[in-house]
A and B are shown apart, each in its own frame.
Chain A
Amino acid sequence: MKVFSICICASILFACTSKNILPEYKEFRNYPNENRVNHNGSVFQYYFIKNAPKDNDELRLYTDKVVKELMVYKFNDTLKRVSFFFFTDRESVFWGVDESYHSNRSGVEDYNNPRRAEYSCYLDKKNKIRLITTIYKNERASIPSIIYSKSKIIKDEK
């Protein structure tokens, strides 16, 4: 009976721990996004990914999908570039970042909470919409290392 109970408990524990929790992107509570176009004609959007995949390729697949959803902007003479930044929890249990975001500078990014993924869409000289995807290493650095970068045309006309 004891063995049976232990097996049940172990099964429940395994079921709970192995449950695949889906990632979810959220705005930072302390730094909500504004659709403000800055003097360079850019809009910047920041998101925190809850339950982010640890694997960089999996993360990119997820953020690729998210950017397709979020890229609803139409370029014009005022808006020339849209950049999406994604941040995830860091590995350390002592320095965890949550969606409220504790930053030690007046923005969402700092030494403790570096960016993980950056997507920049812009209208190039040939009037084509180009997307630059950059995935950063999950490291505690002012400027984290790039581990993946690709530039591609996603649309022929604006």
Chain B
Amino acid sequence: VFWGVTTSGEDCDDTLPDGKYAQTDCTKVDWIIDKDGDGAWSQSVKKYPNWNSSEVGVPDAEFWKKKSDLPNAEGIDCKDDDPKYKYANLSVSLTVNNSSQVGTGADFQSGDLLNFQGIHDVINGSDLEFGEKIEAHKNTYFDELYDKFMDEDDYIKNLRDFAEWTTFNDDLVNEMIYRFLQGDSSGHYTSNNLTQAMLESDGYDSFRSGLIRLIKDKIINDVTKGNRHIIITDLGGPTFDTNGGLFSWNGSHSSNLEVSNFVINCNTFSMTATLTMYDHFGLDNTDLYSQPFGLSGVAEFIARRSKAIRGWFILQRVKGYKPFISEVTTSINISNESF
């Protein structure tokens, strides 16, 4: 029996002349216009256990009349007098719009400085104080002097020592240094080792929760019936300011989120998406003299004086070793998360 309708046309809550309900012990779904009158409809489920029930549903005539008034009504919403509550089963799209393309930028150059004079030029063009420039020039003269006695292995040894102090694990250091030595900028470096280390890190946890919070804010503030699209501008990625990822993954270049399914249902949302995070394994001018890797205190002191970073800079920017793109991909599946 559809909605408990009798052969004579009455359903659960239609009272017969003798005051009894047409059907007893049945469930009826009433449709009522929602509070804000935006053309969406709410369901009201009422169960009529027996004919003595005092519950009375919304009259059928009310429903049919209003539905005919709003032939283009769509969807069912919840408490949409509260802006936090969105519509039921509303499909939403999401786009990430990043300012810079992966594989471009100041930290993706190699061999552009030609010689040590190029490093002096970088220092001269920097915003360092006079005393700091003198110090930087002095270090560069010493680097040039050491360079006459150093070969590639010496540079790499310094880099490896520094890297093992500042990254997830030694195996990963070896993998990434091997990739750096291959001199291949094409293609993206992906590794189970890197992916596992990244996804288990606090930096990723923090980024993921920040991203979900951002999406919730966008749902609340941006999504309307007329605008079912979320745009995230310039999505960064996980960053690390403590030992754990500095060498293998410092500040992310950018991230992309490809959403295959995104549905808002009342005050919850569900999303199936693939998150891809990118980082450049490369140094730009500021890496030579600015706060290295965002470190401070003793760590900054050690990193600033480490020959490893200057050696890395020399390998990449003077000797032409090529930077590369590291990539970690994971899925983000969220089900009925409240916002």
List residues of A whose CB falls within 8 A of some B CB: 29-30, 38-40, 42, 44, 81, 83, 85, 94-95, 100, 102-107, 109-112, 118, 120, 124, 132, 134, 141-146, 149-151
Contact = CB atoms under 8 A, between A and B. Distances in A.
Contacts of B107: 106
A118 B254 CA distance: 17
Contacts of B214: 143, 146
Contacts, number: 114
A107 to B, nearest CB: 6
Interface in B213-228: 213-214, 217-218, 220-222, 227
B239 A142 contact: yes
B31 to A, nearest CB: 30
Tell which of A95, A106, A112 has the most Cβ of chain B within 10 Å: A106
A34 B252 CA distance: 21
A85 B235 CA distance: 13
Contacts of A150: 221
Interface in B82-99: 95, 97-99
Nearest to A46: B99
A9 to B, nearest CB: 31
A132 B296 contact: no
Contact of B294 (A85, A106, A111, A142): A111
B277 to A, nearest CB: 11
Nearest to A92: B296
Contacts of A142: 203, 206-207, 210, 236-239
Contacts of B97: 38, 40, 42, 81, 83
A142 B107 CA distance: 20
Contacts of B152: none
24 contacts: A30-B285, A38-B98, A38-B100, A83-B97, A95-B296, A102-B290, A103-B251, A105-B239, A105-B251, A105-B253, A106-B100, A106-B108, A106-B253, A106-B280, A107-B253, A109-B236, A111-B240, A120-B231, A120-B233, A142-B210, A142-B236, A143-B236, A145-B217, A149-B222
Contacts of B294: 102, 104, 110-112
Interface residues of B, number: 49
B239 A104 contact: yes
Contacts of A151: 221-222, 227
A141 to B, nearest CB: 6
A111 B252 CA distance: 9
Interface of B: 95, 97-101, 105-108, 127, 203, 206-207, 210-211, 213-214, 217-218, 220-222, 227, 231, 233-234, 236-241, 250-254, 279-280, 282, 284-286, 290-291, 293-294, 296
Contact of B291 (A102, A134, A143): A102
Given A81-B97, A106-B107, A132-B222, A146 B233 contact: no
Contact of A100 (B127, B218, B231, B236): B127
Contacts of B207: 142-143
Contacts of B220: 149
A104 B293 contact: yes
A124 B218 CA distance: 16
A151 B37 CA distance: 22
B251 A110 contact: yes
Contacts of B254: 107
B236 A110 contact: yes
B233 A83 contact: yes
B253 A143 contact: no
Contact of B234 (A39, A83, A146): A83
B238 A44 contact: no
B210 A141 contact: yes
A1 B111 CA distance: 69
Contacts of B99: 38, 42, 44, 83, 107
Contacts of A105: 236, 239, 250-253, 279
B127 A29 contact: yes
B235 to A, nearest CB: 8
A107 B282 CA distance: 13
Contacts of B211: 143
Nearest to B224: A151
Given A30-B286, A106-B105, A142-B206, A124 B221 contact: no
Most buried by B among A42, A144, A150: A42
Nearest to A81: B97
